[in-house]
Chain A
Amino acid sequence: MAQKKRAGTLAAFIALLYYEFLWNIRKKKIITIFIIIFAIATVQLAFTPIADAIANPPQALQANSTFVFAGIEALTGIFLFLVGVATTMNTVSGEFESGTIVPLLTKPVSKTLVFAAKIVASVITLLAAYSFLVGYIAIGGTLIYGPQDNLNLVPLGILGLTIGSMVWASVALTLGTLSKNSVLAALGSFGFYIGLLIGGTLIAAQLGASTVLFYAPGMGATGTTAACAGLERGGGQTFSTGTDGLASMLMRWVLNPGQVLNFCGFQFRASGNPTTTLLASDTFANVAFRDLWVSLVYVAGLLLLSWFAFRRSQIVES
């Protein structure tokens, strides 16, 4: 009996996934996301060869074995944001807006199951989108720039991009579930993103890599491989360590786990230059691990909130 029930639930879940994909494919949502990704990756791939070709005098294209790795690291927050939000902004609210929620929720599927299927479909969509993107860059990069280093880390990059993007996708999903309005969800998410960006930039400018930023979504705190005291002299590499940089952090975790990152704070004095002080320092392994769980906590927390809102909602739409 219990087994039969479980089989029924699984069948219903698969039916809901099928519904979700059929709907999104027909709405051309998925294809739109793929086309945008394809366009951006193409620009990224073709930029240097074109720049070289039109330079005066034309330059010969240099082999670049880090193109793919750097290409994944270069996918910035706004990109993860746009792809994430596009994927989920109407996942729940669209059903309310079109009224299709009514026939859907009167089928023998629980609200929780409907919600779970929508989340799983979104994750699969993002995973597929980033696999396509990274795969395209990896193949294109190899063809254009010669053999690539660290291609074994590409799957981790895809995972990091997906989870990092899920943070924004969860924001949009939650706002959409609460407002039942896709436009509000998208605008609200954008406001949230911009707010975090401005807030984060202000904090960073005033305090440096404040440890508050370790736990904020978005670009997070900036870490450097140089010593804080020597910051103004340059040198070392800097990294964004927020949820947007998860792909980069995960790949570096494997590549160089023991490398120490320093997080430097500023102190302004009445006269003269601000002094930089060391606020925290951690290995790539620890930074990446923290970044991973911070991302997952945001995703889980937001999804829990929207699941709760969805379950509570009454369907007054007719």
Chain B
Amino acid sequence: MPEDRAIETHDLSKKYGDRLAVDRLNLTVASKQVHGFLGPNGAGKSTTIKMMVGLLRPTTGSLSILGQGVSGDNPRVRRKIGYMPELPRFPKHLSGEELLDVYGRMYGMSKTERQGRITELIKMVGLEGRGKDRIGKYSKGMQQRIGIAQALISDPELVILDEPSIGLDPVGMVEVRNMVKDIVKSGTTVFFSSHLLAEVQQVCDHVTVIHLGVMRYSGTLEDISSKVMARRRIVIELEKPVDGVLAALKTMKFATVEANMNTYTLHLDTREDVRAEVSRAVTSAGGVIVKMQEEGGGLEDAFLSLVGKEGMA
């Protein structure tokens, strides 16, 4: 397997009883990049991630992480991974610093290594002054922050974050984005899941979109608009309704038409610019165009077309 791949899955599937949560996923995450894993609630993001970190066994298929096959309990692979669970829960009787310390011990870090790293991380996640408080007394967002810190304790090669910004305030979300940017600068690969397009858009080089367990897109953000059929629409407003116009528009193969009084909406099924063609058709059918505009086609619409309207926030 090539060195430059941090994560690779092959036809990875997971069933919970009869429910297929992840369906033959073939995912490749290049190293030293921020890779976003985007999908609506229930898409199968956490399930996929749990298979990566060894909490769940794949039903079928396989995956390899940092060049090593992950089958069953594989502590050697986990040594190089930092993982932050979705809504993490830690022993609540320990303080934040104690938690980082005891996890650091499990990675075989020396006392001095741990001390240096803990100070650094507590500061980085904005918990200065609260490191000695018990985790049970932390707010939700603070628990999320200590969750990020513990994922980074061993300075791992690959960081997997499952919805790191859930429960954070807007400032916290910006901070997390900046943390992710900082982490990747040091040569670490970051794979993180989110259901927020805006978040992924701001930090990721690559993005994989998953919906109902099926991968819908994987590639760079720039490529997405050319590869994905966005939900472009042309909306035409006529001076007054004209009988022949609807029939004329309906003959166009690249669009489906909806009419409402003197407004016609064409849902496009093509990436071409068809405005000229449309206006000619309307005019020759006797329509007088008052207004004509194209809508959609942005990143947001591209994602909506991937996962359906109900999907993305």
- Tell me the A residues contacting B by CB distance below 8 Å: 8, 11-12, 14-16, 18-19, 22-23, 26-27, 98-100, 102-103, 105-113, 311, 314-316, 318
Contact = CB atoms under 8 A, between A and B. Distances in A.
A8 B85 contact: no
B55 A8 contact: no
Contacts of B79: 108
15 contacts: A15-B106, A15-B108, A22-B94, A22-B102, A99-B89, A103-B85, A106-B55, A106-B85, A107-B78, A109-B75, A109-B106, A110-B73, A112-B73, A318-B85, A318-B87
A165 to B, nearest CB: 25
Contacts of A109: 75, 106
B92 interface: yes
B121 to A, nearest CB: 15
Taking each of B83, B85, B91, B108, which has the highest tally of chain A beta carbons within 10 Å of its own beta carbon? B91
Given A18-B102, A26-B91, A102 B55 contact: yes
Given A109-B106, A318-B46, A318-B86, A23 B93 contact: yes
Given A12-B106, A106-B78, A314 B91 contact: no
A107 B106 contact: yes
A109 B102 CA distance: 12
Interface string B64-102: 000000000101101101010111111111100010001
B172 interface: no
Nearest to A27: B93
Interface of B: 16, 46, 50, 53-57, 73, 75-76, 78-79, 81, 83, 85-94, 98, 102-103, 105-108, 147, 150
Nearest to A107: B106
B105 A98 contact: no
Taking each of A100, A106, A110, which has the highest tally of chain B beta carbons within 10 Å of its own beta carbon? A106
A315 B106 contact: no
Contacts of A18: 102, 105
A110 B147 CA distance: 21
Contacts of A11: 105, 108
A4 to B, nearest CB: 10
Contacts of B150: 103
B57 to A, nearest CB: 6
Given A18-B105, A23-B94, A315 B50 contact: yes
B78 A108 contact: yes
Contact of B102 (A19, A27, A311): A19
Contacts of A105: 54-55
B63 to A, nearest CB: 15
Contact of A106 (B83, B87, B89): B83
A106 B93 contact: no
B268 to A, nearest CB: 40
Given A16-B106, A22-B94, A110-B73, 8 more contacts: A15-B106, A18-B105, A22-B98, A22-B102, A23-B93, A26-B93, A98-B91, A112-B73
Contact of B91 (A100, A107, A113): A100
A111 B73 contact: yes
B102 A106 contact: no
A103 B90 contact: yes
A26 B89 CA distance: 16
A108 B106 contact: yes
Nearest to B81: A106
